[in-house]
Amino acid sequence: MSFEIITERLRLTTLKTNQTQFVFDLFNDPDCLRFIGDRGIKNLEDAQHYLDEKLIYSYHSYGYGLFQVALKNKPQPMGICGLVKRDETNPPDIGFAFLPENRGCGYCTEAGAAVLKWVQKEQISQRILAYTNPDNVASIRVLEKLGLKKQTITKLPGQDFESLIMFVNFE
């Protein structure tokens, strides 16, 4: 699958199988571990498996997934943003994670807005969810800027912490 969204400052593209170090660094960031959870990525082999079996697999299975976010004029990945399909009964949810040096610059909001615009254009779903740690004030703020509303707090299967569920409906 080939995918590209261009915004004013950013380029969102599919992740490639050679981005193991990026996946390792991103999912081992202390904030990522705290707010998203431990994905069991302890070494580069684990990162490669997660990249292939979760991230890239999603593109082929659902036609979407979490996409690499980079500046338009720099190929270096700064983070990920896109859709996650957790189960067959719920709509996809928007997710994002950025390396520490790329936070606080509006990149997440810009990438998220582009993903939601793409969802509407391609008619991916009439409803998008988001799951976030109730203590993750920065993510909640981004999701609210993107138009998502708070719904409830729950524990997701396989997680030992609570998640705030947010949503947006498209007309």
Express each pLDDT in 37-91 by its tens digit. 899 999 999 999 999 999 999 999 999 999 999 999 999 999 999 999 988 888 9
**Would residue 99 count as lying in a domain?**
yes
**Would residue 152 count as lying in a domain?**
no
Longest CA pairwise span in the chain (Å): 44
Indicate whether 2 pLDDT > 90.
no
Rounded distance between C-alpha atoms, residue 33 and residue 114, angstroms = 25
**Would residue 23 count as lying in a domain?**
yes
Domain count, the chain: 1
At 127-147, the pLDDT tens digits run: 999 999 999 999 999 999 999
**Would residue 146 count as lying in a domain?**
no
Report the SS3 class of residue 60. Answer: helix
**Would residue 141 count as lying in a domain?**
no
Q: Are 132 and 152 in contact (CB under 8 A)?
A: no
- pTM beyond 0.85: yes
Q: Are 117 and 6 in contact (CB under 8 A)?
A: no
**Would residue 12 count as lying in a domain?**
yes
Q: Which CATH number characterizes residue 46's domain?
A: 3.40.630.30
**Would residue 30 count as lying in a domain?**
yes
DSSP-H helix ranges across 38-167:
44-50, 57-62, 107-122, 137-145
Indicate whether 1 pLDDT > 90.
no
| Residue span of the structural domain in which 118 resides | 4-125
At residue 167, φ and ψ (nearest 5 deg) are -155, 160
At 8-31, the pLDDT tens digits run: 999 999 999 999 999 999 999 999
The predicted pLDDT at position 141 comes to 97
At 95-132, the pLDDT tens digits run: 999 999 999 999 999 999 999 999 999 999 999 999 99
**Would residue 20 count as lying in a domain?**
yes
CA angle 148–25–34, rounded 5-degree value: 50
